[in-house]
Structure 1
Amino acid sequence: MGNETEPGVIPRSVDNVFDFIKKAITREFLLRVSYLEIYNETIKDLLNPSNNNLKIQQDRIRGVYVTPLTEEVVTCPEDVLRIIRKGEVVVAIRYFKWRTLTTTGYGMNSLKSKETNLIDLAGSEKAASDQDRRKEGSYINKSLLTLGTVISKLTDPNIGKSPNHIPYRDSKLTRILQTALSGHAKVAVICTISPSIMEESLNTLKFASRVKRITTHAKNDEVMDDKALIQKYRNEIVELKSKLQSTAEVLQKEKESAIIAERRDHDEQMKHMRNVRKTMKERIDHLTRLILTSSSVDTTDPITIAVLLQHQQQLEDPSHSGLPSPPYSERNSSASHDNIATNNNNSASGLLMVGNQQQEIQELRRQLSEMMKASYIKDQRILALEEQLRQQTNINSQLETALSVTRAELEVTQLLTNENEEKERRSRENSDHSNMQNSVWT
């Protein structure tokens, strides 16, 4: 038991049970505590000393159990410790004690039986002069010997290769410990030794060495009727549907976020393309106006163009810097030839500029057409992706529904298989027991 500052194994185990209950917020539990003692191969109820007719039984639901054993309902660790102290007051000093803490949880019509067994084993006893003490020691040694035999057979490497009878029924201790020793439970063994008793310490270490070689595969034994099984699968289906819906919502949100991001990028690209289109249109209009201006210039009177060009040349002519000018007739003749040449050059330049501007307008229109075509293709791609996403969502929903149904069918099949295996195992045990009894009678 320990004390408040240094609690022992029992208080720590009890706290562990209640910690498990606190974490399972979606389930309900009913806890019962029983306290019994095995003395001279007789089971005694320490919570009800007048209850002497205790027997070991086994059934499909509870496994191996003692009946009619007193069980008291507890709601907190203090209740458990109080009941254990109550049993310790009743018990006299014995060499063999058995303590059991049974936890039964109820949840949605399914009965799950869980047991935490706390056992205080006595050490092997030497021969005593008193007859009662010798009898007591012989029973203790017999129980420990049977326990050692069971452990030896369980640790035999050929146990899975050839039939090997495990003598659980040779002792009440091993019979009650059958569930724990058969490998279906988690087992922890604490051995204590003393340097003052070398022989007993050596035997204890050998015992611990054999125990540690037992292979265990702990599992939860669940026994349910048809209604409870149906309700269990209904609850699991509801839970799976809820998880499926949550997963689908998360995936849908992610897909919607991706679509929104793609639409945002598309809108930005469309905005950019509209701005480019507007700029190109303004440039086309500007070039169109330039073409009209060039045409008007081309139809202007050549004499007017010549006069304007002559005026521009006069502004750039160095003769305005004070140098003497040529005679009037020469100037007039030269100006006429220059006007004619300038007019021809101006007409050729105007035609060339018009051709270049028309080519540039055509190129801009071609680029605008390609941009509009690319925008249309992107719109069609977005629509196709949305349709593909909708179809994929429907397919995923159908597959997940089929998966839920298949999973439920597999669990039903597994449950039926486990029941058949359990029936076969019990049948083999009963057969072995019958054979052993027949051999004894023979």
Structure 2
Amino acid sequence: MAGLNPYKHLLTSIKIGQKECQYYDIGNFGTKYDRLPFSIRVLLESTVRNCDDFQVTKSDVEKILDWENNQALQDGVEVAFKPARVLLQDFTGVPAVVDFAAMRDAVKRLGGDPDKINPVCPSDLVIDHSIQVDFIRSTDALKKNEELEFVRNKERFMFLKWGAKAFENMLIVPPGSGIVHQVNLEYLARVVFDYNSLLYPDSVVGTDSHTTMVNGLGVLGWGVGGIEAEAVMLGQAISMLIPKVVGYKLEGTLSQYATSTDLVLTITKNLRQVGVVGKFVEFFGPGVAQLSIADRATVSNMCPEYGATVGFFAVDEQSLAYLKQTGRSEEHINRIEKYLRSVRMLRNYDDASQDPIFSEVVTLDLSTVVSSVSGPKRPHDRVSVSDMQIDFRNCLVNKKKKKLVKGEETA
């Protein structure tokens, strides 16, 4: 049975504007906390806040706090993690809403109150997978495609509209609003939650591998399967191994001729060579401050290509400026800044004294990134534009499914 939170003594009050809020002051853990990567601090805060010695135990908190030793263990250390919210798109979200509707029917048949069946964890669903392209090359193409989308998906959309009204703790974003990850970045991402005046970091699991894109804004998140997402919606914790965290240090400045695509192809190829499957990658160093949130999100979005669980950029002043740019209120941004400063989660990438301990460190000088081409099926096979001619000639004579990159044969 769930009990009282043994870390209740860490609850601290903070006044932001005219509002009195509370938060778990995990900074009180001292030196061990200051050595943790910023992504692991998010995991730690969640376990502290949700600790009930039933689903999330005191042992989970201690294991994460001792990340420096536990991450190196060969067999791994298992802990429980409760994300702050769930992100769905309509392709995988409809079955989840159907399951909740079926549970309501079952409760009603048993004589209970069906209105009590709602997601426990806040859940956002973005309808973005239903549109098809039937009309192109005209100013009204988008309008015509969207009209056909409503005709083709009438029953699904009516059902989802019912769900939007019927379920508490669930937000359904209507068709035509944009792709799920763009909507997540520009609108849904809280960065810091304010739930009944309790402040805590935003974190998310989504039913899409590219959920990782939101890590570019400092929101810890990754993709999961539909069943796992539903379990989180029902209040269950995710069981996970404490990850190794690869620190990826960025130095210097991008050339005026290099784009974010060139950067991400360089990083992807580099990290595939390092080997980061099942690990967190956390970016740091003065070069990060040179990157816009769009650039960071592009790098984080490529997680499935380089194999990491997340490519995390901690929140900094650039992140706060982006929140203002995308219409978040001054009050909300002020709340985010004061909370993150209080728990030492607001990053200054130019301040090396804030750098935590990592499992290993990889360094990239941004000035070495050059114009490149890659793909379409193998984005990790980046080739510099200056090497295109020789690479093309080598590919003509190589064996099938083999590619020669600067003299090295790869499968």
TM-score normalized by the length of structure 1: 0.20
Greater fraction of residues in strand: 2
TM-score normalized by the length of structure 2: 0.22
Bigger RCO (CA 8 Å, 6+ sep): 2
Greater fraction of residues in helix: 1
